[in-house]
Amino acid sequence: MLEVTLEAVQFAYPSFDINVSTTFERTTHTAIVGPPACGASTLLRLIAGELRPRSGEIRIGTRVVNSLKTSRRPLLYVTASLDVSSRWSVQHALVAAVRTRTLDREDRHREYALAVEQWRLASLLERKIATLSSTERVLVQLARIELQRPGIVVADRLFEAVNPSLLPVLVDDFHRMLRVIGATVITAPSSSHELGLTDHILVMRAGRIIQEGTAADVFAKPVDEAAALATGEVNAIPVTIRGDLVDSAIGQWQVDPPPFAGDGVAIARPDDFTLAAKGEDSDLIFGIEEASFRDGRWYLRGMLSGGVWLRVAVPRDAKVHKGRLLALRFDPSRFRLVPGGTAPLTTIPTDVVPLLRDSR
């Protein structure tokens, strides 16, 4: 298997330029994440050969591939869309995939049968591609990847159209399959489910890599709001630090030593807030504006003074309805304080964070 190296790769956009230097080690799984329009998909297309860089080098192994077409690069570029004729049957698409490998007839039949069983496609074999649902198309795409057994997989939002109830299982099976193959994987994930299955993540903003590390590292110590949003739901609460006192919309607290002076943001996860017990003092009174139930908990959303939205996760047995006031506790030592200097992100990046569902 080969590593992929980007050396001072630049690509021009009207609003910003992509400028990236990094290496994707062989057999590792890397996710490229960030807020909308961060440049992740463009970077994947540059690696795959769908776009040409303005300058810099893209190397696969020791070979510079800037001028090579996608079909001549030793990789497989995939999205949620199938790059086969919509008039083909599923069987036709799978047979075409396994024929890209130099196998004898018996081995081709065995590999084909295993892929059909693994991805539960037996009932779909005679169906035309055009008649498949979005989730069924992704299943066919996963089977085609397994049959082709590429050394490098570049996947852009592969699971964006998958039924949410099937997403965790399919993502887990996909990464397990590629581990067995030993492929180098570079992906722009469509959900946060994929992050925990990768070895490394790159966080991009406006065409630059702003942070890299494991998903756990970035989650625990994001360098700014964009990095925090890339790894899950987050509250970005405006703060002002004067001396050792932090002033914010959710209250005041002391920090020693202060990480900076002046305006900034406190990054707090929904799990950082808990319900105050009966008779216990509260740190914050929170009014519910919206509520959704997923993953066994309530996810609440409400507006505080100054137009600051707060997202809070509470147990499933909590009494929840719009307009209800909740007494909350929080431990400010769990918050990540980062200085200002970047424009605030006003939306959750829906390419990596699931939207609220079953809203009340």
Q: Dig out the tokens for 169 from the structure.
A: 């299982």
Q: What would the pLDDT profile of 203-249 be if each residue is shown by its tens digit?
A: 999 999 999 999 999 998 999 888 898 888 899 999 999 999 999 99
Per DSSP, 72 falls in state: G
pLDDT of residue 345: 44
Number of helices and strands in the chain (H, E): 7, 21
pLDDT of residue 103: 92
pLDDT of residue 341: 52
Helix-helix angle 167-181:134-148, to 10 degrees = 10
Q: Which residues contact 149 (CB under 8 A, 6 or more apart)?
A: 101, 181, 183
End-to-end Cα separation, the chain, in angstroms: 50
pLDDT of residue 14: 78
Q: Tokens 């110590």 — which residue? A: 221
What residues of the chain score a pLDDT lower than 70?
341-360
Per DSSP, 355 falls in state: P
Q: What would the pLDDT profile of 138-167 be if each residue is shown by its tens digit?
A: 999 999 999 999 999 999 999 998 998 899
- What ranges do the domains of the chain cover? 4-208, 233-339
Per-residue buried b or exposed e for 2-16, using 16+ beta carbons within 10 Å of the residue's own CB:
bbbbbeebebeeeee
Name the region of 157 (left: φ>0; alpha: ψ -120 to 50; beta: rest). Answer: left
pLDDT of residue 224: 87
Amino acid at 222: P
pLDDT of residue 342: 47
pLDDT of residue 193: 84
Could you give the CA distance from residue 273 to residue 330 in angstroms, rounded to a whole number? 5
Q: What is the CATH number of domain 4-208?
A: 3.40.50.300
| Closest by CA position to 210, among listed 191, 190, 230, 195 | 230
Residue 98 dihedral angles phi and psi, to the nearest 5°: -70, -25
